[in-house]
């Protein structure tokens, strides 16, 4: 397959990994780099032996560029995607897809109208641990899913919000207008993506409580969410970026036949059925998973979708929208002071 020729926009923290993994994926070639911070763009361009561009418009004008990889602050995802689509370029955009559903819909329309493809970087689903969990669930481990619990507790120091961890420091993460929200839209969005991917379920009703209780930011650093899934199952999220000392990240999914736990240890599972060659009625833990470049896999899958006339990105813009529908409804429920129905993608024109 001829490598997908990618122009990079945004050469900050995560772009280091994105560009490196795209370049080494075997499915893409970096043919341009742009960032408003010219120093980081020049550094990346020289490291990748790719041309440097001093404006986004110049990058989009380049005939060499077939697709753009946007690793920019959230409020720029919409305008930069629309501009790229209008220039006939495919788009790989970082998560979250955008800051709100209207923006995401504009991106979907612009890509559809210009006949270009769009994907969102929900690539954690390519982690071997997540793939194995999917295989177990698809084999009937859980039966009918009845409950999901997400715990995501970390400590993010003040510098996280002010850009101190980035090679291109800026405090956009602390701004509600630029970031769209806090720990939920920034971090927990990944977990929501792979929970949807693993279960095939979507949330239908949601309520949240959140606040900013320990960070120099306008956006939340602690959130608690209750939700109902479309099959009637019940889910909850406890997430915080101000948890000192006892950090924990764990997802539990359970059903009529069994349960599965994903955490830093690996996967633990129990089933009343024989699964994965194991006897029923016992708790098993799988700890060893191979190293795998999940971002490179995301790029490979997208490149393959572009090269095939009717190819569809594995991480679709619809899924990006549905992820955002969960997040925006969670935020809106507190503002409304009541549980909210989550909009369905079918309503999008």
Q: How far is the CB of 72 from ligand NAD (least distance, A)?
A: 4
User: How many angstroms separate the CA atoms of 178 and 341, rounded?
Assistant: 26
Q: How far is the CB of 172 from ligand NAD (least distance, A)?
A: 6
CA dihedral in degrees (342, 322, 122, 301; nearest 10)? 160
- For ligand NAD, the binding residue among 35, 193, 221, 297 (CB under 6 A) is 35
Size of the site for ligand NAD (CB under 6 A): 26
- For ligand NAD, the binding residue among 4, 6, 8, 15 (CB under 6 A) is 15
Displacement of CA 129 from its chain's centroid (Å): 16
10 binds ligand NAD (CB under 6 A): yes
60 binds ligand NAD (CB under 6 A): no
Residue 79 neighbours by CB under 8 Å, 6+ apart: none
127 binds ligand NAD (CB under 6 A): no
Q: Which stretch binds ligand NAD (CB under 6 A): 24-32, 69-77, 267-275, 302-310?
A: 69-77
User: How many angstroms separate the CA atoms of 183 and 173, rounded?
Assistant: 10
47 binds ligand NAD (CB under 6 A): no
Q: How far is the CB of 253 from ligand NAD (least distance, A)?
A: 22
- For ligand NAD, the binding residue among 43, 66, 94, 220 (CB under 6 A) is 94
Q: Which is nearer to ligand NAD, 43 or 105 (CB)?
A: 43
User: How many angstroms separate the CA atoms of 47 and 238, rounded?
Assistant: 40
Q: How far is the CB of 96 from ligand NAD (least distance, A)?
A: 7
Return the structure tokens found at 86.
Answer: 């209008």
- Ranges within 129-168 binding ligand NAD (CB under 6 A): 163, 166, 168
Q: Which long-range contacts does 55-61 make (Cβ < 8 Å, 24+ apart)?
A: 56/9, 56/80, 56/83, 57/83, 58/34, 59/7, 59/9, 59/32, 59/34, 60/7, 60/84, 60/87, 60/89, 61/87
12 binds ligand NAD (CB under 6 A): yes
191 binds ligand NAD (CB under 6 A): no
Q: Under a CB-based contact definition with an 8 Å cutoff, are residues 28 and 92 in contact?
A: no
User: How many angstroms separate the CA atoms of 321 and 98, rounded?
Assistant: 8
Q: How far is the CB of 74 from ligand NAD (least distance, A)?
A: 5
Q: Under a CB-based contact definition with an 8 Å cutoff, are residues 28 and 305 in contact?
A: no
The residues binding ligand NAD (CB under 6 A) are 9-15, 34-37, 40, 56, 71-74, 76, 94-95, 121, 163, 166, 168, 170, 186
């Amino acid at each position: 397959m001829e490598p997908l020729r990618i122009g990079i926009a945004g050469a900050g923290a995560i772009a280091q990994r994105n560009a490196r993994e795209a370049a080494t994926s075997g499915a893409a070639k970096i043919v341009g780099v742009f960032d408003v911070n010219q120093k980081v763009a020049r550094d990346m361009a020289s490291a990748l032996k790719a041309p440097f561009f001093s404006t986004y418009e110049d990058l989009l004008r380049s005939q060499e560029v077939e697709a753009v990889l946007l690793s920019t602050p959230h409020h720029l995802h919409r305008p930069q995607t629309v501009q790229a689509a209008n220039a006939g370029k495919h788009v790989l955009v970082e998560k979250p897809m955008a800051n709100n559903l209207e923006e995401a819909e504009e991106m979907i329309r612009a890509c559809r109208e210009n006949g270009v493809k769009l994907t969102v970087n929900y690539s954690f689903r390519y982690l071997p641990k997540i793939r194995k969990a999917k295989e177990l669930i698809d084999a009937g481990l859980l039966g009918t899913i009845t409950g999901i619990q997400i715990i995501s507790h970390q400590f993010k120091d003040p510098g996280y919000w002010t850009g101190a961890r980035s090679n291109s420091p800026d405090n956009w993460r602390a701004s509600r207008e630029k970031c769209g929200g806090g720990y939920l839209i920034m971090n927990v969005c990944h977990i929501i993506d792979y929970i949807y991917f693993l279960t095939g379920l979507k949330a239908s009703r949601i309520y949240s409580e959140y606040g900013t209780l320990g960070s120099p930011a306008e956006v939340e650093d602690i959130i608690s969410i209750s939700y109902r899934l479309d099959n009637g199952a019940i889910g909850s999220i406890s997430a915080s970026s101000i948890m000192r000392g006892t950090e924990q990240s764990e997802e539990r999914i359970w059903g009529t036949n069994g349960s599965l736990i994903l955490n830093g240890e690996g996967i633990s599972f129990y089933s009343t059925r024989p699964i994965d060659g194991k006897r029923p009625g016992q708790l098993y833990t799988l700890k060893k998973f191979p190293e795998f470049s999940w971002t490179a896999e995301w790029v490979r899958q997208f490149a393959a979708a572009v090269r095939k006339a009717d190819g569809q990105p594995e991480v679709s813009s619809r899924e990006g929208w549905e992820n955002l529908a969960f997040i925006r409804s969670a935020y809106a429920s507190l503002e409304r002071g009541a549980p909210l129905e989550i909009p369905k993608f079918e309503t999008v024109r």
